[in-house]
Structure 1
């Protein structure tokens, strides 16, 4: 399963196929890894991270988001660590491996050969735990792919007993209190989105379709004890893209809207308007009196990126250079008003929290610090305390870049921040990769342990923590 063909000339200018982002050729299992420091004995579970890793050498225009999904896992138990990586074997991956996939990536023309999907479904974006198994999810909405959380072997594409109405988007969520899977879906070229609920026994219990003024490109959603919060954002396909089914976006002259939907998927949608902005990733949301409070990373103007050096990939490079600040939105269910405020001016994205706080008020979050470079690099991360309005920080050594970190509760923990922050990092020059563990209450002191990986781990997307009891 290795990419052996040389890159065509047009992809020599694609920065997301080189260096930190270059794919790895093999699936491996590594046991008894070398550790600097000491892995805490009260840390038992696995860090899982999804990301793009093209199976074949891209011969046409290639977007970073097009790479086949590959899961990377580090397993911690009794002070020891293991590592393994496996491709996510979606049906499109299997078809592609056999030379039978009829769809391409987002920089190629969309196809009508296999609607409602129009691009290759790679399941490369997100990973969550539900019903004792992992689900790999895709950002354009696709078929969830179930994986074994201990081996990373693909189990099946999930359709919830044949009841899934269509697809599931990345950044759908699991409620830790009742085990429900809360999902959303959207169509690229049609004016609607939808939301649904799957219970802890993997049965679809609710579903609702919401009409929109036009096709939209949401990326995330939020949930609270009683509601979904869906996003109608002013980044849309251009008129030409809609007519010709191309991937070309623009900022529309319209407000940002949040649609609050009852979790039973059978009530009226309440819309809240606020200043135009785009939100890739939500931090969390909860109910507070008459208000729904949502924290997220709000995109702001980016003064430093210039993709001119990357030829045909200029637009991709400039869109992927995320520039966002942590912000708060308050939606008042009685007055219908929405207020917003920025919580900090530090540029950060890919937030994570203690997942046990999902849908309930949280005090802490861990947000990746974005380097001021042309391509997306995590130069460190921040720990936010929203009660005190303070933050601490950790930055990697020169040349080392991180992945999205996850919070791992200490065995027996009773407080939100009692545990560890864990994550992968790789050196963009040497390819040296490590898994690091920090005390969540003192990240500024540096890692407690560094697990040295014998194989390079490419930069990727989203991560989660799975307690060993869920293996």
Structure 2
């Protein structure tokens, strides 16, 4: 959705064209050679170095997109000699302009911390030994450290044969721990945590001799192929680098996911965060589908406020967009695609981030339903 001068100018919905899909559709190829699996990325879209990229994970390549989301082709964003690239949850440090990623491959016993400079060149790649092939979907970034989650969801080669659509399973024999790697280099330190799985990181920051991380935590027994069977909640982990202990504290026990923060504060202290809640209705009306509410968390006061949509609505991840000239952390907007059951189509709903529970500032009516996906970005033109 392109917005300028208070108007919605156009809406585009495009598949990322892998070579095989272009061939099957009889379309011209993108002309970029690719070795290994050719897979159209399906997890995230970001901007970096003045370009737009669609991201995926494992050992699959990012794809570059054009201005109107046309497929340019596979690219070398974060490419390393052993075949890694920037993965789905790469994080932009707004203070250095660098792009950081922790990339994994299900067939290897190590993961890779990759740093891309503001011009798009890979400037650092550090191996992190990790036995057991855990599923590392996300990580955390602070001013001084990279934090990785080595948790009991691991690769299971037999999973697809048993009918599972994701080749990862809960593995109670895999010790749960988190690793802290200095961004400046040095050995990684490991810290024990209780059995769980972290789906997404809201944000993280240094606090003296501690690291504070706000995460979406799934409890023991989490199965990636059955997300509806486990309740993701908001937890705050505080790693004490002196004592080697991790304090795990529940912030909100309502089921929610897709956390976002004002991205000017990625890797720095934050007060507010935003999530999509799977249900804020009565307990006797459980919903295991996507979401019908957006929540704003105030981590300073412990309070939250929510915008609740219609019972049968479905809201995607909300992206925070700062106001022009904003000085306050929450001076801006929350933007989310929301399926409107009354219209049978989607609206782009724009809320004031300082009044999340209030009426929307705008609803942009789209002609059809937008399939709910995972992640996205607001990119200034």
Other-structure match for 2:282? none
Q: Which runs of 5+ in 2 are unaligned?
A: 28-33, 280-284
Cα offsets for 1:160-195 (capped at 9, x unmatched): 496564233211111112221101211113222111
Contact persistence 2:135–2:168 (CA under 8 A): no
Other-structure match for 1:285? 204
Task: Give yes or no for the alignment of 1:435 onto 2:355.
Answer: no
Other-structure match for 1:75? 2
Structure number having the greater helix percentage? 1
| Larger RCO: 1 or 2 (CA < 8 Å, sep 6+) | 1
Contact persistence 2:80–2:125 (CA under 8 A): no
Question: 237, 248, 252: which one pairs with 1:329?
Answer: 237
TM-score, scaled to structure 1: 0.72
What is the aligned residue count? Answer: 367
Contact persistence 1:91–1:157 (CA under 8 A): no
Cα offsets for 1:284-341 (capped at 9, x unmatched): 00100011111101113799xxxxxxxxxxx876335552111011112222222211
Task: Give yes or no for the alignment of 1:138 onto 2:61.
Answer: no
Contact persistence 1:128–1:174 (CA under 8 A): no
Other-structure match for 2:76? 159
Q: Which moved more, 1:157-166 or 1:362-371?
A: 157-166
Instruction: Work out the CA distance in 2 between the residues paired with 1:444 and 1:161.
Output: 40
Contact persistence 2:336–2:349 (CA under 8 A): yes
Task: Give yes or no for the alignment of 1:273 onto 2:192.
Answer: yes
Task: Give yes or no for the alignment of 1:460 onto 2:366.
Answer: no
Residues 217, 126 of structure 1: alpha-carbon distance in 2 compared, 3 angstrom cutoff: same
Instruction: Work out the CA distance in 2 between the residues paired with 1:247 and 1:283.
Output: 25
- Correspondences of 1:70-469 after superposition (within 5 Å): 74-81=1-8, 82-91=10-19, 93-94=21-22, 97=25, 117=37, 121-148=39-66, 150-160=67-77, 163=80, 165-167=82-84, 168-238=86-156, 240-241=158-159, 247=167, 249-264=169-184, 266-300=185-219, 318-320=226-228, 323-371=231-279, 375-427=288-340, 431-467=344-380
- Correspondences of 1:1-40 after superposition (within 5 Å): none
TM-score, scaled to structure 2: 0.88
Instruction: Work out the CA distance in 2 between the residues paired with 1:142 and 1:330.
Output: 33
Cα offsets for 1:189-237 (capped at 9, x unmatched): 3222111101001111110111112111111011111211111110113
Cα offsets for 1:338-397 (capped at 9, x unmatched): 221111211110111111110001110111001375653111111000001100001111
Residues 463, 144 of structure 1: alpha-carbon distance in 2 compared, 3 angstrom cutoff: same
Contact persistence 1:232–1:257 (CA under 8 A): yes
Find the residue that maps to 1:319 and give its secondary structure.
helix
Residues 339, 162 of structure 1: alpha-carbon distance in 2 compared, 3 angstrom cutoff: closer
Instruction: Work out the CA distance in 2 between the residues paired with 1:125 and 1:447.
Output: 27
Q: Which moved more, 1:420-429 or 1:175-184?
A: 420-429
| RMSD (Å) for aligned C-alpha atoms | 2.9
Contact persistence 2:322–2:333 (CA under 8 A): yes
Residues 293, 459 of structure 1: alpha-carbon distance in 2 compared, 3 angstrom cutoff: same
Instruction: Work out the CA distance in 1 between the residues paired with 2:196 and 2:297.
Output: 22
Instruction: Work out the CA distance in 2 between the residues paired with 1:289 and 1:354.
Output: 22
Residues 302, 400 of structure 1: alpha-carbon distance in 2 compared, 3 angstrom cutoff: farther
Other-structure match for 1:9? none
Contact persistence 2:145–2:183 (CA under 8 A): yes
Find the residue that maps to 1:356 and give its secondary structure.
helix
Contact persistence 1:285–1:360 (CA under 8 A): yes
Find the residue that maps to 2:369 and give its secondary structure.
coil
Find the residue that maps to 1:394 and give its secondary structure.
strand
Contact persistence 2:278–2:288 (CA under 8 A): no
Contact persistence 2:97–2:117 (CA under 8 A): yes
